Amino acid sequence: MKVAVIGGGAAGFYSAIWVKEFHPNAKVTIFEKSKKLLAKVKISGGGRCNVTNGTTSIKELAEAYPRGSKKLRKAFGTFNNQHVIKWFEERHVPLTTQPDGCVFPVAQDSQVIIDCFLNEVKSKGIAIETSMPVTKLTPTDEGIKLEFANHSKTFDKVIVATGGAPKESQLNWLKEIGHKIVQPLPSLFTFNMPQEPITKLMGIVVENTQVSIQGTKLKSNGPLLITHWGMSGPAILKLSAFGARILAKNNYEFTVQVNWIDQKNEQLIYEEIYKISEEHSSKKLSNYRPYGLQDRLWRFLLEKVELNPDKKWMELGKKGINKIVQVLAHDCYEANGKTTFKEEFVTCGGISLDDINFKTMESKVVPNLHFTGEILDIDGITGGYNFQAAWTTAYFAAKGLC
């Protein structure tokens, strides 16, 4: 059986390796359009490679995917993050799980993951051809014909693992043979706030926030990072993933509401601020920061609600307390635009899951053609989830070759 894997990234390598596990006699070739192999693996997680997430709950794992969640949840019952962790460790790549659930190599270097894949491919006799972009794919009676720049080859089975396509036109070669394409859009991005003075606080991280988009049901919580262009951090990135299509429809102009203390009960906040005003009555507002807020942020918020930082807590009064409650729980900022991570660009959209038999990752349109990874209309939030979707779909694509 001759098998072509199109794409020399994470999903491509992992599917090729599993093809040889399930079909030892298959002749497998990986075709990569560029000169670089495993480029996204190299830069993932700041060069450390966040291979998966450490959650032990399949339900929780599946909920991290704005698109593809239901189908992945079923697939995770067979092959999930715990299988991936075991797979790497059996190949002498020890992993460590951080408090936030992100799983990295103990070496804190993505090169150990790349070396692991290259060693596996070499030991299994998998061929690799770089600088070999596929220009056309045609189903024939003999198999699936792949056309390259100067020649063509026919294979019994083909696995497409080309990654996310920022432009729909990049998927025309698959649309031409009958596949439905869900419009690709950026999924993980940060919020630009060019008119907001909060950008002067760049570098501040607030660990426990709740962030929402006004006029929608979108909300998320977690750490928020203030940047020189606006807001980032897990809470923002998660919001951008779940709101990818809604925010694109709004042309990335929307109002962000921030609860700086992740406390929804206003009465409890009021009681806490009132208690502080009594217990620290003679202190200046600037000298006692509620909820452990950073000094610069606290002063900024006081200024925003026009409270003098030299004012004493005893002088606040009910009106002053309410101002603090509102700015802590319902602070608003205008977003105008987005910033994507170019190398770690993640898209929603791609090949419609309606066209895929998820048990085998085979196309319902073209027999013997399988898909894996981000080219599918599947994407996850940050934290190792996008790699996990690649590992799981690669496993099923390889197993599904008959």
Residue 388's pLDDT band (cuts 50, 70, 90):
very high
Please state the domain extents for the chain. Answer: 2-186+344-399, 189-340
- Confidence at residue 276, expressed as pLDDT on a 0 to 100 scale: 97
What is the rounded distance in angstroms from the CA atom of residue 270 to the CA atom of residue 273?
Answer: 5
Q: Answer whether residue 343 shows pLDDT above 60.
A: no
Topology, domain 2-186+344-399: FAD/NAD(P)-binding domain (3.50.50)
User: For all residues of the chain together, what is the average pLDDT?
Assistant: 97
Q: State yes or no: pLDDT of 286 exceeds 90.
A: yes
Q: What is the pLDDT of residue 340?
A: 85
**Strand locations in 27-143, DSSP E?**
27-31, 52-53, 95-97, 102-105, 127-129, 136-139
pLDDT confidence band for 344 (50 / 70 / 90): low
Task: For the chain, report the end-to-end CA distance as a whole number of angstroms.
Answer: 9
Tokens 């929603």 belong to residue: 348
- Per-residue pLDDT tens for 27-63? 999 999 999 999 999 999 999 999 999 999 999 999 9
Range 109-112 contact pairs with CB under 8 angstroms and sequence separation of 24 or more = 109/47, 109/48, 109/49, 110/41, 110/42, 110/43, 110/44, 110/45, 110/47, 110/48, 110/49, 111/42
Q: With the C-alpha atoms ordered 116, 122, 126, 127, is the resulting torsion angle positive or negative? A: positive
Q: What mean pLDDT do residues 312-319 have? A: 96
- pTM equals 0.93
Confidence at residue 345, expressed as pLDDT on a 0 to 100 scale: 73
β-pairing, 2-6 with 27-31? parallel
pLDDT at residue number 14:
98
CA 366 from chain centre, in angstroms, equals 29
Q: 30: which 2 tokens?
A: 């990986």
